[in-house]
Amino acid sequence: MPGPLILDRYRPLGTAGSGGSGTVQICWDTRIQRRVAIKRIPIPESSPDGSIPGLAEARTGAMLKHPNIVSVIDFETSGQEAFLIMEAIEGPSVAKLIDGTHRGEMDLDVVAAVVEAVGEALDFAHENAVLHLDIKPDNILIDRSGTVKVTDFGISELSCSQGFGSASGGTIGYMPPERMNGDDLDQRTDGFALAVVAYEMLTGRNPYNARDLAGSLRLMQGPAPEPVSRMRRDTLPELDEVLACAMDPEPGERFETVLEMVDELVPLLGSPEAGRQHLRALMEDDEAGEADEEPRLRHDDLWGRLSPRFRSVAGRVCCAILCWWTAALGLEIMNLLSTGGSMLLALAPAVAGAVLPGVGALAAVAFLGAGIVVNAAYPPWLGIALIALAVLWWGVAGRERTAAANAVLAASPLGLAWATPLVPLLAGFTLRPAPAAATALLQGGVVLALSGVTGTASMLHCGLAFSSAAAAPAALQAMLTDPATWISWLSWILVAVLVSALCSTESRVLSIVGIVAGCALLLAAQILAVFLAAGAWAPPALPWCASIGVCGFAALVLGFAGAPYRYKEEE
């Protein structure tokens, strides 16, 4: 049974949490008909300075109006209690997200979204001369729309003419040495705490957690925490450098402002927009009937059942094989594949592909382009154009790493199997719209080049037998003057973007809808090509229809296996 009304207005619905400063209850505002959160703070019978507990927090919160800061609505006292009335956030805290996620498997986009949002909230607070001083996963909440909110300015510090002073309170593991030593504080104190939160989200552990302040201080002054890139192969060493700087025990060695740290950190994590979409989808799933379970950023489908390490290793092995295949084609065009030294040379992109997939893919395509340039049977501009497209792809999508690399390199074996319609579907299924478009552009260039030099003269198929000097120019000219070539190539780019846009919702249903829509667009492009060639509407050639059907079915199998959650280790 609900208890009596609080302040003759608020009906208690449940307890959201409790701590040393009071208890937070979710209540129903009977006057305005909305949910609110009320922090109930006991008032001591006598206070040394005569202050009312919670009043400073209320004033600070009321002053900070920002979309990523929990709003303070009102402050009241009654008897020996103070009541801080705040915006109700019914979603989980970041602490619960960490607890509900297998260690080291938190999606990098989600980490990017949280870090960016908290950084913007802290930057706003700092601009208004307020330090939070208790940033930790419990004080970062996710509302039902997936928006990240910072709460609990209970021990915040407002600057005076002399700047910020020292402050008491805080949480062990997130306080830098200057907090524990009672030194003066500044923005770098909050920056340190946010960096520790980011490290904890990435690895599942707080490197400075200890039983007491002295133990935490010893950890901070001892060896540096284990680099994230050693625990997660889906991260870069540059991320370790940024975190090491942000968590340096010496304030002077850290970033001057939180915003400066966020600008360096977020691009190394992922896409904040994709992270917000991920959180929104997570909250919608939770609201639909999973509210009794801990929110999990790990999905119960085929992809979610595979461990991050398995996904990473499998993707890199596949990339290494495809890099060798593509580089070997380039050496074959140079008539060098039969030599032992050249065979070893072809392994260089393969090794690069296993370590840095994007670099390996770029090198492999460069091998292919160089082979076309060197062989006098083919026009050198074709190889140069292919290398230029590869460089462009690297700039836009190369840092997407494994997924983008494999999608590009798959163009050659799929072309050999008469399955090029699967090429843009793979790009859209595994990548975000911009990288997907760049990948489809390069995929089309690879297929065009290989179809031209092998004499197949079709965007549907490319062989392995390279044409003679007499046949190659004719095949290339036929392709370049055929509208079907350009229509097919353009349709690949459009299909990749369309499928990617629908798959980005991380909904299995919309992923399948995207694949079906992509196949329909591929079919429509071929119908248009037939019309331009024959001057009348007619169905496309049977090989095209059969290939689109088979490739569409294969892509649907991927969709039924689970929506593409774009794990960074897969990309």
Of the chain, the end-to-end C-alpha distance in Å amounts to: 51
Q: According to DSSP H, which parts of 72-186 are helical?
A: 94-99, 108-127, 177-180
Per-residue tokens: 15:
């307890």
Of the spans 1-10, 287-296, 372-381, which averages the highest pLDDT?
372-381
Query: Average of pLDDT values for 434-453?
Result: 91
pLDDT digits (tens, 9 = 90+) for 495-538: 999 998 888 665 678 888 889 999 999 999 999 998 888 888 88
Give the closest residue to 450 by CA, choosing from 442, 461, 440, 441.
461
Could you tell me if 152 and 306 are in contact, meaning their C-beta atoms sit under 8 angstroms apart? no
Bridge-partner residues for 36, per DSSP? 27, 87
pTM of the model: 0.54
Number of helices (H) and strands (E) in the chain: give both, helices first.
Answer: 23, 9
How many Cβ atoms sit within 10 Å of the Cβ of residue 48?
Answer: 6
pLDDT digits (tens, 9 = 90+) for 137-150: 999 999 988 899 99
DSSP annotation of 102: -
Tell me the per-residue pLDDT of 260-286, one tens digit each, with 9 for 90 and over.
999 999 999 989 998 998 898 888 766
Task: Give just the sign of the alpha carbon dihedral 285, 287, 288, 294.
Answer: positive
Exposure string for 502-511, b = 16+ CB within 10 A, e = fewer:
bbbbbbbebb
Span of 333-342, 427-436, 464-473 with lowest mean pLDDT: 464-473
Is the Cβ–Cβ distance between 160 and 176 less than 8 Å? no
pLDDT tens for each residue of 61-75: 677 889 999 888 888
316, 353 Cβ separation under 8 angstroms: yes
> Does the pLDDT of residue 416 top 50, yes or no?
yes
pLDDT value of residue 292: 40
Residue position matching structure tokens 């040394």:
48
- The predicted-structure confidence for 23-42, as pLDDT tens digits, reads as follows 888 899 999 889 999 988 88
Banded pLDDT at 300 (limits 50, 70, 90): very low
